[in-house]
Amino acid sequence: MKRIASSFLEFVRQTGEQLDLFWQVVRRLHHSWRRRAMIADQMYVGGIKVLHVVLLVGFSMGMVVSLQTGIELSRIGQQDQIGLIVAVSMAREMGPFITATILSAAVGSALAAEVGTMAVSEELSALEVMSIDATSYLVLPRLIALAVLCPTLTVLCDTIGIIGGGLVARSQLGVGLELYFDSAIDALQTPGVLIPIPKDVYIGLLKSFVFGIVIAIISCSAGMRTRGGALGVGNATRAAVRDSIILVIILNYFMTWAFYQQN
């Protein structure tokens, strides 16, 4: 019982630290222009290095969704609808989730390890002693980079997934590419209430934007809390990836519920 209580208190403390870190970054958003070079560096490092993974996984997932759903639809003669199903699945759920998971594993872990190594080698203390604001110098550029990267990669993931689905629809299900893409584009035409772009597209991008912020905050926070040398860095990295993916899944559900519950 004591252990459960102490784990719960630790969870509350960590959540409080993460929320506080997010608030501290929000208060420093006006430093963004000054940090533009670091933001660009982070986007390059985080974006280019995972681009091929996102494209490969997105392409494969589009093919899998197309094949699995197409087989069932063809039993009832509805395989013409495959474009609609692949497009909606990719834009609403698969694209944002796949991208966020890859970013958590590839970029979030690297980020936690990098900041964690700085913590154990006293570089964070050195920044503090030099009166350099670590939140502005380290966290802000990484958060902005991930908040921009995640939706950008999601668009690419959605697109390549839909293309992959189309190739399977043509080769395995006998659905023409023109019909497939017409159906996919039609599916993404539902106008948004808030902004004049299709609802499925902007909600998917909104999810990605939130996921990018979540990954950056959890990873930086885990890194900054690191104690105890190489073992501590390993623990921080593992915790960052685990917590990011769990929170992405939970937030994904609640955002889907919030935006689609009336449909």
Q: What tokens were used for 216?
A: 């950056």
Cβ contact 83:180 at 8 Å: yes
Q: Output 1 or 130, the one with its CB closest to other proteins.
A: 130
Residue 132 Cβ, how far from other proteins at the closest point, in Å? 5
Residue 250 structure tokens: 């939970």
Measured from the CB of residue 154, what is the shortest distance to other proteins in angstroms? Answer: 28
Rounded to a whole number of angstroms, the minimum distance from the CB of residue 4 to other proteins is 23
Helix (H, G, I), strand (E, B) or coil at 176: coil
In sequence order, the β-bridge partners of residue 191 are: 198
Q: Write down the residue that tokens 């208190």 correspond to.
A: 9
From the CB of 129, what's the least distance to other proteins, in Å? 5
Are 154 and 55 in contact by the 8 Å Cβ rule? The answer is no
Q: How many beta carbons lie within 10 A of that of residue 47, not counting itself?
A: 20
Phi, psi of 129 (to 5 degrees): -65, -30
Nearer to other proteins, 130 or 258 (CB): 130
Q: CB 228 → other proteins: shortest distance, Å? A: 14
CA atoms within 13 A on the CB side of 178: 0
- Tally of CA atoms within 13 A in the half-sphere of 249 that contains its CB: 6
Q: Which is nearer to other proteins, 39 or 184 (CB)?
A: 39
Q: Considering beta carbons, is residue 37 or 76 the nearer one to other proteins?
A: 37
To the nearest whole angstrom, how small is the minimum distance from the Cβ of residue 122 to other proteins?
4
Closer residue to other proteins in complex, CB, 138/169: 138
Q: Using CB under 8 A, list all residues that contact other proteins.
A: 117-118, 121-123, 125-133, 137
Q: How far apart are the first and last CA of the chain?
A: 43
Nearer Cβ to other proteins, position 118 or 188?
118
Distances (CA, A) of 116 to 43, 108, 186, 230: 20, 12, 47, 9
